[in-house]
Structure 1
Amino acid sequence: MLRRKAVVIGAGIGGIACAMRLQSLGFDTEILEALDAPGGRAYVRKADGFVFDMGPTVLTVPHFIEELFSLQQDHAMLGEPDFPAHVLDEDKRVREGISGGPNTSKYVEIVPILPFYRIYFDDGTYFDYDGDPVSTRTQIQRLAPEDLAGYEAFHEKARAIFKRGFLTLGYTYFGSLGSMLRVVPDLLKLGAVRSLFGMVSTYFKSDKMRQVFSFEPLLVGGNPMKVPAIYAMIHFVEKTWGIHYAKGGTGALVAGLVKKYEDMGGLLRLNAPVQRILVEDGVAKGVELASGEMITADVVVSNADYATTYLKLVDKAHRRINRDALVKFRKQSMSLMVIYFGYECRDNDPDLRHHNIILGPRYEALLDEIFEKKVMSPDFSQYLHIPTLTDPSLAPAGHHAAYTLIPVPNNASGIDWDVEGPKLSARVLTFLEERGYIPDLAARLKHMSFITPDYFAETLGSYLGNGFGVEPVLTQTAFFRPHNKSEDVHNLYLVGQGTQPGGGTPSVMMSAKMTAREIARDLGVDEAIVNGVPSQH
């Protein structure tokens, strides 16, 4: 039987995951990547002997990764239970030290990280969040004893939201308004549509605890003041399955996924930027590369930025729904400045952790300036990542490779990052030195470079330099978020953080499965393959 051809634009984690699933569905799949290496936001920077993951570093829900490494030709696993019983037992999760399943371990080594995060407050105190119920309550008792009862109530509310919002609805594709309306009563009952910070504030009196239990949406591009309370499920996702690290960095996970994809017969082309999606009579027929080369396909999947896909790759004549006005009207997430630096170790260095959240003196006001006012702030919060505490292989002996990530406004701000980038990087590194996080950092520094929203806009093709695609506010959630199946062009699909269900590595993997399901349904792929029953012929 003649095999169908699928082209995937972009080798981000979402694009690779979707391509793997399409390959398992029986397509001849080709990924076209504009850069010289795969990964997209998970690109790897190497300099002066240091290795830096440029993007995502927090891995959760390792059984999602295991499912990808378990795929086979004619064995798509789209119909298997998404949350098998053996991964739902809280007593058997990360504390057994098991991260990578047997198929994952053939390609990459994944290990648990504890604590998940050390969260520093501006007064120098900190909260080690590790998901352990005894440890969590002990630290609340130490920092805000008045919030112990509130935590118990919050914990139960977050559990209920997790069970309904993630375990039950996690893979629900909201392709129609009716599919959304059917779940609204449950979400209203759970209070999951109010703002996360508003919900958290009803349970916690202390500013510190309000910050600890609301900051996590920042890691997927959301403003805690604006994201719906359904994002409380992130707390429970982390608590249930822990935080993990791929030895060699997230780039090693990307390399493992690419190797698995190629082992399945998939093709990856680098330095192959797509210039436009070819459309005839309302049907996607393939793509044209910047070189002028035409590639025909039965299905086109874009892992490029949602806005960029429609504004730059699909001609206006073919867009009835996703017109320029609608695409530009959607609110984009904030952006990031990320500083990559390598420095010498010292025996008396402060006791930092693999993942450190360093909160500034302001929380609500700073978020308002980043997301709403879009101005440069006098202060900042940051996520300081030091993977060499776990994996020394990323730096020369006696050194650390680190990055620190600072949320900043996207390019709707009009900020000149050629001017402000160097200023902010200097301020951040001086802060880390003077506040004692890394004493004498300037004298020990062996490498320093940084990216700004301009990198996201110019190199990654993110509209307005957004860091996480469309911002996850209520009016851009579920059905109201960009759809994985194009409403304008038949056989054109989207995948990744800008589509359903949203940002973050696990959500991107879920997006790949959603998109593959829609393709299988639309193109009538054999149910035996879709449901994970290997072919008998």
Structure 2
Amino acid sequence: MSKQVIVIGGGVGGLSAAIRLAAKGLRVTLLEKNDRIGGKLNLRELPHPGRPADRSFRFDTGPSLLTLPFVFEQLFEAAGTRLSNHLTLQRLDPIARYIWGDGTTFELRNDDDALEQELRKIAPDDVAGYRAFAAEGKRIWDLSAELFLFKAPEQLLKPRPGSPADTADALAAAADPLFRAKVGLKLLSTPFQIGMFRRFSVVVDRAVRSRRLREVLYQYATYSGASPFKAPATLTCIPHAERQFGGWYPQGGMYRLAEALAEVAQSLGVDIRTSSPVDQVLIEPPTAGAKSRRIGRAAGVRLADGEAIRADAVVCNADVVYSYRSLIESRYRRKYADKTLNKLEAGGSGLALLLGVEGTYPQLAHHNKFMPADYRSDVVSMFHTRTVPRDPAIYVCATTRTDASQAPDDCENLFVLASAPPIDGTIDWSTRGPRYRDQLINSLEHAWGLKDLNKRIVVERQISPADLKSLYNANAGSIYGIGSNNLKDAFLRPPNRDKDVERLYFAGGATHPGGGLPLVALSGKIASEMVMEDLDG
């Protein structure tokens, strides 16, 4: 009989691991606490009170852009199918539109000539500097992607012959200690070459002088839950990857990706059980005679209703910090005791508004960013003073620009997001959330030209940091898991294979290689490879 694996959590990382493991012939049970899979990649459907029920407002409540599509193409191929059989992707152009208070706009275009025209509008003296910045991003991507994104460091240092992760280099390293030493030297030297010890904002500021262009580029650090003034320069590769591989939208909405992954998983025999919260990872003594310093072995899980499910391995796609604190007994957490977990800085959060409105705002693009008069104050509030910003950058997503099916006729589904600090006990979101909501609506209506917005809202929901914590067990209500404001959190996240408990693995935004749709999918790939290595071994 094939080995049994339990996956805790139905986010993209968990679905990625489940698909790859089932495709290898393992029996996989995926347990999701909520009534819908997808994790933070999720969906809210709100009916219009005066329209037919079959044309509700649809809101993607998590990621709003699909990048690095080849990561998902490879995931579907691992399942014996093609992404195009399940999803229709549309490349967005512009990827985003930035708007400042004086009416100045900048569109991030795919075509090089069109982008240069946009650059000359806001920063005519910085075109060459932008090119240099883009070239630096490509250099860092070329040096770091294979080393830090597609494999875990331990896979490069300790490859196992015969494992699914084998490459020619891995086999050579397993057989040749000298080659292995060279790999280790590369792991040590590359950080200096890719800017791990330089600040992201310093690289931006040296390349361009325009305040507006700097603000556009600073935004890329916040996409990983980090402050541009603290994050390492390695994040320079993010804008390169976005332009190189494009920003995409799946027809039918971003949640179609989660639905497609679930369909593929079930076609491979994955048993997906929603509304099944896990209460504890069951751990027994380690394998007898094993040459290991580990102090336990994952043997299954216990659900909140008391049901115990045995397994040969457990992949945890729940937030890593939450998982260690709540699912794993403290005696099995030598490396990640509470004292260590307390030192992990949560990434940034936000307040999201789901607004179904009568009429349309044709001035909006698919992705819009309304920029504050003082951009630094927004960043300082979220990452430094941990307060609600007085004048935040406001992101507005209007998917009806690309997909009319997302709202009733002559209506808009506006997803509004503004920055907020992670939860530290100083803000009561039950009272602060409504006030912040009014602030954002007032700003969009009176400062940014969305006329009569408040009057035109017919349905509305809020998602606060407290909601993120409750819905997804997100550490401190963070959107992005662990932040990337320092070397340890950016590159030395809790690993995919637990150091104390055998056959316990992690996937998701708070483990290696980090947050964002393609990276969490890669974390599932890495975790699945480790499961196969250990079970085969």
By the TM > 0.5 criterion, same fold? Answer: yes
Residue 71 of structure 1: aligned partner: 78
Q: What is the alpha-carbon distance in structure 1 between the residues aligned to residue 72 and residue 66 of structure 2?
A: 9
Distance of aligned partners of 1:495 and 1:437 in 2 relative to their CA distance in 1, 3 Å threshold: farther
Q: What is the alpha-carbon distance in structure 2 between the residues aligned to residue 285 and residue 404 of structure 1?
A: 43
Q: What is the alpha-carbon distance in structure 2 between the residues aligned to residue 413 and residue 134 of structure 1?
A: 49
Q: What is the alpha-carbon distance in structure 2 between the residues aligned to residue 237 and residue 400 of structure 1?
A: 30
Q: How many residues align?
A: 494
Cα distance, 1:180 vs. partner? 7.0
1:514 and 2:526 are equivalent in the alignment? yes
Q: 1:239 aligns with which of 240, 243, 246?
A: 243
Does the 8 A contact of 1:8 with 1:15 survive in 2? yes
What does the per-residue CA deviation read over 1:306-331, in whole Å, with 9 as the maximum and x for residues that have no partner? 11100000001111111111012111
After the TM superposition, which of the residue ranges 325-334 and 164-173 deviates more from structure 2? 164-173
Q: What is the alpha-carbon distance in structure 2 between the residues aligned to residue 461 and residue 131 of structure 1?
A: 37
Q: What is the alpha-carbon distance in structure 1 between the residues aligned to residue 490 and residue 185 of structure 2?
A: 10
The residue type paired with residue 13 of structure 1 is V
Q: Secondary structure at the match of 1:276?
A: strand
Cα distance, 1:190 vs. partner? 4.0
Cα distance, 1:132 vs. partner? 2.2
Q: 2:417 aligns with which of 383, 400, 405?
A: 405
Residue 441 of structure 1: aligned partner: 453
After the TM superposition, which of the residue ranges 187-196 and 10-19 deviates more from structure 2? 187-196
Q: 1:353 aligns with which of 365, 368, 372?
A: 365
Residue 36 of structure 1: aligned partner: 35
The residue type paired with residue 238 of structure 1 is E
Distance of aligned partners of 1:477 and 1:221 in 2 relative to their CA distance in 1, 3 Å threshold: same
Residue 255 of structure 1: aligned partner: 259
What are the equivalent positions in structure 2 for 1:118-267 lying under 5 Å apart? 118-167=97-146, 169-175=148-154, 182-267=186-271
Cα distance, 1:71 vs. partner? 2.2
Cα distance, 1:167 vs. partner? 4.7
1:6 and 2:5 are equivalent in the alignment? yes
Distance of aligned partners of 1:393 and 1:156 in 2 relative to their CA distance in 1, 3 Å threshold: same
1:373 and 2:385 are equivalent in the alignment? yes
Distance of aligned partners of 1:192 and 1:327 in 2 relative to their CA distance in 1, 3 Å threshold: closer
Does the 8 A contact of 1:16 with 1:261 survive in 2? yes
Q: What is the alpha-carbon distance in structure 1 between the residues aligned to residue 457 and residue 435 of structure 2?
A: 17
Over the aligned positions, Cα root-mean-square deviation in angstroms equals 1.8
Does the 8 A contact of 1:180 with 1:479 survive in 2? no
Q: What is the alpha-carbon distance in structure 2 between the residues aligned to residue 409 and residue 180 of structure 1?
A: 37
Cα distance, 1:187 vs. partner? 3.1
What does the per-residue CA deviation read over 1:180-202, in whole Å, with 9 as the maximum and x for residues that have no partner? 76334233234343111111101
Does the 8 A contact of 1:470 with 1:476 survive in 2? no
1:105 and 2:109 are equivalent in the alignment? no
Cα distance, 1:413 vs. partner? 5.1
Report runs of 4+ in structure 1 exceeding 4 Å deviation. 176-181
Does the 8 A contact of 2:101 with 2:447 survive in 1? no
Q: What is the alpha-carbon distance in structure 2 between the residues aligned to residue 19 and residue 146 of structure 1?
A: 50
Cα distance, 1:336 vs. partner? 1.4
Q: 2:407 aligns with which of 391, 395, 398?
A: 395
Cα distance, 1:365 vs. partner? 2.7
Cα distance, 1:252 vs. partner? 1.1
After the TM superposition, which of the residue ranges 497-506 and 139-148 deviates more from structure 2? 139-148
Q: Secondary structure at the match of 1:213?
A: helix
Cα distance, 1:175 vs. partner? 3.4
Q: 1:467 aligns with which of 445, 462, 479?
A: 479
Q: What is the alpha-carbon distance in structure 1 between the residues aligned to residue 381 and residue 419 of structure 2?
A: 11
Per the normalisation by structure 2, the TM-score is 0.89
Does the 8 A contact of 2:148 with 2:513 survive in 1? no
Residue 23 of structure 2: aligned partner: 24
Q: Secondary structure at the match of 1:372?
A: helix
Percent identity of paired positions between Structure 1 and Structure 2: 30
Q: What is the alpha-carbon distance in structure 2 between the residues aligned to residue 168 and residue 329 of structure 1?
A: 26
Residue 499 of structure 1: aligned partner: 511
After the TM superposition, which of the residue ranges 461-470 and 270-279 deviates more from structure 2? 461-470
Distance of aligned partners of 1:437 and 1:523 in 2 relative to their CA distance in 1, 3 Å threshold: farther
What does the per-residue CA deviation read over 1:307-360, in whole Å, with 9 as the maximum and x for residues that have no partner? 1100000001111111111012111111111000011224xx342110112221
Per the normalisation by structure 1, the TM-score is 0.89
Residue 64 of structure 2: aligned partner: 57
What are the equivalent positions in structure 2 for 1:317-356 lying under 5 Å apart? 317-346=331-360, 349-356=361-368
Distance of aligned partners of 1:180 and 1:243 in 2 relative to their CA distance in 1, 3 Å threshold: farther
**Which sections of structure 1, spanning at least 5 residues, go unmatched?**
76-101, 526-537
